[in-house]
Chain A
Amino acid sequence: MIASSRLSLLQRREQRLAYLMIFPTFAAVVGLVIFPVFFSIWISLHRIGLDNLNDVFRAPFVGLLNYAHAAKDYAFPAALATSLVYSVTGTAVAVAAGLVASLLLNRSFHGRGIVRTVFLIPYVAPLISVAYIWRWLLDPTVRGVVNWLLLRLGVIEQPVSWLGTRGMSLALVILIEGWRYFPFAMLMILARLQGIDAALYEAASVDGASPWVKFRRITLPDLRYVLGIVFLIRLMWTFNKFDDIFLLTGGGFGTRVLPILTYEFSFRLFDFGQGAATAMFLVLIVAAFMLVYIRKVLQW
C-alpha cells in the first residue's frame, strides 16, 4: 500500500516501459481506427466528389444533406431491411451452430482433435477462396456441384440459379454466414463450458435428471452471458460486413445490404459524402442497439 506519489524507482521505470510498449499499438489504433471514424464523420457532413477528394478539409459544408439524400435513395429502405434480416438471422445461426458444436466438443472422444480442427476451418480459411468455392458449388449451370448432384439424383430437372433467385439468395448468404462464423461462437462458448463444475452434473444425475433437463437447468444459465456477448459481438461485426456478400452475390437479387450501398455510393457514383452518411447510419443503428441490448440482456 505505497501511495502513488511514492512509487519506487523500479515501479516508475516499469510504468514508463509499459507506456512505451503500448505506444505502437496505440498509434496504430488511433491512426487506423479513431482517426478514420472522425474523418468519416467529417466527410459525411460535406459535399465530396472526385473533384475535391484530394482536398477534403476545404470541402463545402452541407450539414445533414447527405444523410437525407441517402435515406431517400430508392435502394435505402430495402438495404436497411435486408441488413437487419441478414445480421440478426446470420448471427443467430452462427451462435446456435456454435452452441451445438461446443456441446459436442465438450467431452473427450476419439478423434476430438481432428473434429475441432475441421470445425475451425470455415473461420480461418481465406474469405476469397471460400467465397469462390461456394460460388462454384452454387453455380447456376450444370457445372455447379449442387446442381449436378441434384440433377443426378433426379430431385430437380433443370439447373437452379441458387444465388440468382431472390429470397433463396438471401437465405443462402445467411447460411453461409452462419457456417463461416460458428467456430468463433464455438470457441467462446467452449471456453465457458469447460469451466462448469462437473460436480453439478454428477449431482443432477444422482437426482435422476435427463440430459435435456441438465442442459436447460445447468448449462444454459451458466452460458447466458457468454451467449449474450457472443451474439452482440457477432451481430455488430455482421452488420458491418461487406466482403462476404460482395464476393458471393455482388449485392444482387435481394442481398444488397447497407455496406454494399455505401460502396455503390462511394465508388460507383463517386458521392463520397453520401457513402459516408450511409456508413454513419450503420454506426448509429449499431450503437443504439448496443445500448438497449447491454442494458436489457446483459444487465450491466
Chain B
Amino acid sequence: MNGKEIRWVMAALAAGFMVVASAAMATPSQEVTKKTVVELWSTDNEEYRIQAYEKVAAHFMSASPDVDVRIVPIDEATTSQRIATARGANRLPDIARVGVERVAPFLADGIIDVDAATRVIKELGEDTFYKGVLDLVRTPDGKYAAVPFDGWIQALWYRADEFKKLNLAPPISWDDIQKASMALKGSEGNLYGITLGTDPGQNYGAQVFEQIAMSNGAFPFDTNGNVTMNSPEMVEALSFYTGLQQYAAPGPNYWKQAREFYITGQSPMLWYSTYVMDDLVGLQKGVEPTVKDLGNLTGFAPKMVGKRGGSATYGQLVVMTIFKGTDVDAAVRLLKAMLTGQDYIDILFLSPNGKIPVRTTAVSAWAKNDIFARYPKEVIDTVVNGYNTMQRWAFAPQMGPVQRSVIGDMEGRLLVPQAVSNVVEGSMTVPQAADWLQQRVAELYATRKAAAK
C-alpha cells in the first residue's frame, strides 16, 4: 500500500470512530438537560395502554415542566430479569409496576424507598385507601413499602346454565367442584371438566393452588415460624387439586389454555381473575367467545370453601415501587398525580374489571363504566369489596418479613407449579411432592435467615 492509500484508510477509520463516538454522545445524558427524568416500567404493555399512560404523563408534565416522564413497557414474565440487569448496571427505573409479592424480597434486598412510598400515601390521605390494601403493604414499623395501584380478585367462573341443567350446586366447596368436574366432563359438549395450571414454567398453577390451600387452612409457615409445606392440610389441598386432573385438559396448561377452553365451550369451569370479564362479553379482540351470550351464562364464585370448613378468596394487588437512589421526589409527585381524579380513572378504564381502584374516592366514577352494566349487581359489589376479603399466604398474620421474602422466592422459583406438574405427570406422589416442597422451602428459609443476620 502506498502513502495515498494509507491516508484513505486512516481517514475511513477516523470517520468510523467519529460516527460511533457521536452516536454514544447522542444518548441523552442528564447533566446536559435540565429536566429530571422519571422512568416508569409498566407491565400494562399493550400499545393502547401505553398511550393512556403517556396521556396521563403528559398531563402531569404540563403541570410540572421540570420533569420528563418516560413510560417503558415491559413484559411481566421478564420483570425479574430486567430488574436484575438494571440493578447490575445501576440503572434501575424510578418506578416499577409489580405484583405485591415482589415487595417483600425487594424490601429485604434493600432496593426500594419506603419513605417515598409512605409520603405518597400520607399526602393523598391514608383514609382514602381501602384498609385491606394498606394492610398488604405495611412494614413492621408502620410505614408503607410500596404504593398500591390497582388489583383483581380471582374466581371460579362457571357455566351456570349447564350447572342448572344438571342440578349441580355452584362450585364453591371442594366437593361441589369435584362433583361438577366429574359430571360435566363429556356432557353438554364439554371435552373437559376443568383446566388446571400444570405448566411448571407458569405461575398460574401456584395462584390457583394458593386459594385452595388457604381455603383448607394450609400455609407455608405456622405461627411458630416452622415450615409447614407438608402439613396434613397442605397435603389434602395438593391431593384435591391434582386429583382434579383426571377430569381436566391434558398437557402443560396455564391461564391461556384454561381461558380458551372456557370461551369455546370445551370446558365449563375456569379459574381466572376479573380480567376475564371483558373477554366473556366479547369486548376483547382475539378472544371472542364462540359460545353465544357467554357473559349472561356465566356464574361467579370467588370464595372457596375447603374440606375443613374454612374459606378463602385470592386476589392480587398491583403496586408501584419506588427504587432507592433514583429521582424520588419527582417519582412521588408523579404517582400522586396518577392516583388522582380523572387521570386515575383513565388508567383504570383501560381494563376496569381487571383494575379495581385502591382508593375509595375513585369507586363511584369507576363503577359507571359500561362493562359493569352487563353483569349483575352482586358481582360488582363482590368485586369492589375484593380488597377487604382477599387473602394471600404472604399476608397471613403469622408471616414476618423473612417469611414473606421466602414466599416471594418460592413464587419466583415456581416451586408449586413444578410440584403440581410432577404429581400430574406421575413422577411424584402427593406426599412426596409435599415433602419436596417442604425441603425446598426450608432451604430458601435458611438462606434468607442467614442473609438477614
Judged by a CB distance under 8 angstroms, whether A158 is at the interface is yes
> By the criterion CB–CB under 8 Å, are A141 and B251 in contact?
yes
Total A-B contacts with CB atoms under 8 angstroms apart: 88
Residues of chain A from 247 to 261 with CB closer than 8 A to chain B in the complex: 249-253
In whole Å, how far is B189's beta carbon from the nearest beta carbon of chain A?
15
- State which of A94-102, A190-198, A229-237, A264-272 sits at the interface with chain B: A264-272
For the complex, count residues of A whose C-beta is within 8 A of B. Answer: 34
> By the criterion CB–CB under 8 Å, are B252 and A253 in contact?
yes
Q: Which B residues lie within 8 Å of A178 (CB)?
A: none
In whole Å, how far is A181's beta carbon from the nearest beta carbon of chain B?
24
Query: CB-CB contacts of A133-173 with B at 8 A, as 1s and 0s?
Result: 00000001100000000000000001101011110000000
| A253-B425 contact given A158-B250, A161-B252, CB 8 Å threshold | yes
Q: Which A residues lie within 8 Å of B311 (CB)?
A: none
| A267-B413 contact given A54-B90, A140-B251, A166-B427, CB 8 Å threshold | no
Q: Which A residues lie within 8 Å of B439 (CB)?
A: 74
In whole Å, how far is A58's beta carbon from the nearest beta carbon of chain B?
13
Q: Which A residues lie within 8 Å of B201 (CB)?
A: 249-252
> By the criterion CB–CB under 8 Å, are A49 and B81 in contact?
no
Query: CB-CB contacts of A1-17 with B at 8 A, as 1s and 0s?
Result: 00000000000011001
> By the criterion CB–CB under 8 Å, are A270 and B105 in contact?
yes
| A252-B413 contact given A20-B13, A141-B257, A270-B84, CB 8 Å threshold | no
> By the criterion CB–CB under 8 Å, are B252 and A51 in contact?
no
In whole Å, how far is A11's beta carbon from the nearest beta carbon of chain B?
11
In whole Å, how far is B311's beta carbon from the nearest beta carbon of chain A?
32
Smallest CB-CB separation from A143: which chain B residue? B260
Q: Which B residues lie within 8 Å of A141 (CB)?
A: 249, 251, 257
Judged by a CB distance under 8 angstroms, whether B9 is at the interface is yes
Judged by a CB distance under 8 angstroms, whether B171 is at the interface is no
Q: Which A residues lie within 8 Å of B440 (CB)?
A: 74
Q: Which A residues lie within 8 Å of B198 (CB)?
A: 164
Judged by a CB distance under 8 angstroms, whether A50 is at the interface is yes
Among A49, A56, A74, A166, contact of B109 (Cβ-Cβ < 8 Å): A49
Judged by a CB distance under 8 angstroms, whether B243 is at the interface is no
> By the criterion CB–CB under 8 Å, are B413 and A49 in contact?
no
Q: Which B residues lie within 8 Å of A272 (CB)?
A: 84, 88
Q: Which A residues lie within 8 Å of B342 (CB)?
A: none
Among B6, B110, B421, B427, contact of A51 (Cβ-Cβ < 8 Å): B110
Judged by a CB distance under 8 angstroms, whether B101 is at the interface is no
Query: CB-CB contacts of B242-254 with A at 8 A, as 1s and 0s?
Result: 0000000111100
| A50-B106 contact given A74-B440, A161-B250, A253-B425, CB 8 Å threshold | yes
In whole angstroms, how far apart are the Cα atoms of A249 and B421 in the complex?
Answer: 13
In whole angstroms, how far apart are the Cα atoms of A56 and B80 in the complex?
Answer: 19
In whole angstroms, how far apart are the Cα atoms of A140 and B412 in the complex?
Answer: 26
Judged by a CB distance under 8 angstroms, whether B367 is at the interface is no
In whole angstroms, how far apart are the Cα atoms of A236 and B348 in the complex?
Answer: 51
In whole angstroms, how far apart are the Cα atoms of A161 and B201 in the complex?
Answer: 15
Judged by a CB distance under 8 angstroms, whether A188 is at the interface is no
Judged by a CB distance under 8 angstroms, whether A290 is at the interface is no
Query: CB-CB contacts of A49-69 with B at 8 A, as 1s and 0s?
Result: 111011010000000000000
Q: Which A residues lie within 8 Å of B111 (CB)?
A: 50-51
Judged by a CB distance under 8 angstroms, whether B24 is at the interface is no
In whole angstroms, how far apart are the Cα atoms of A236 and B443 in the complex?
Answer: 33
Query: CB-CB contacts of B429-453 with A at 8 A, as 1s and 0s?
Result: 0000000100110010001000100
> By the criterion CB–CB under 8 Å, are A50 and B84 in contact?
yes
In whole angstroms, how far apart are the Cα atoms of A269 and B440 in the complex?
Answer: 12
Q: Which B residues lie within 8 Å of A21 (CB)?
A: 9, 13
In whole angstroms, how far apart are the Cα atoms of A38 and B443 in the complex?
Answer: 29
> By the criterion CB–CB under 8 Å, are A253 and B9 in contact?
no
What are 13 pairs between A and B in contact, CB < 8 Å? A14-B1, A21-B13, A53-B87, A74-B436, A74-B440, A141-B251, A159-B250, A161-B250, A164-B252, A252-B200, A253-B200, A267-B81, A269-B412
Q: Beyond A50-B105, A252-B252: 8 further Cβ-contacts under 8 Å? A: A17-B9, A20-B10, A54-B87, A54-B90, A141-B257, A164-B252, A268-B412, A272-B84
The 4 closest A-B pairs by CB, nearest first: A140-B251, A250-B201, A161-B251, A50-B109
